[in-house]
Amino acid sequence: MRSRPSICHRSLHEDRLFTRLRKLDVAEAPRPKLQRPGDVLVHIERVGVCGSDVHYYLHGRIGDQLVQYPATVGHECAGTVVELGPAVRGLRVGDRVAVEPAFVCGECDQCRAGRENTCRKLKFMGCPNEEAGAVAEYRLLPAQNCVPVPAALDLDLAALVEPLAVGLHAVRLAALRPGAKLAILGAGPIGLSVLLCAKGSGPCTPMLPT
Ligand SMILES: [Zn+2]
Ligand SMILES: [Zn+2]
Domain coordinates of the chain in residue numbers?
12-152, 165-207
pLDDT of res. 9? 57
Residue 7 above 50 pLDDT? no
Segments in the chain forming alpha helices (H): 51-59, 109-112, 155-158, 161-174, 189-201
Q: Which run of H or of E encompasses 12?
A: strand 12-20
Give distance in angstroms: CA of 87 to centre of ligand 1. Answer: 29
The arithmetic mean of pLDDT across residues 178-187, rounded, is 93
Give distance in angstroms: CA of 9 to centre of ligand 1. Answer: 31
Give distance in angstroms: CA of 111 to centre of ligand 2. Answer: 4
What's the pTM?
0.90
Give distance in angstroms: CA of 86 to centre of ligand 1. Answer: 31
pLDDT of res. 58? 96
Using one digit for the tens of pLDDT, what is the confidence trace for 127-140?
Answer: 999 999 999 999 99
The domain defined by 12-152 folds into: Quinone Oxidoreductase; Chain A, domain 1 (3.90.180)
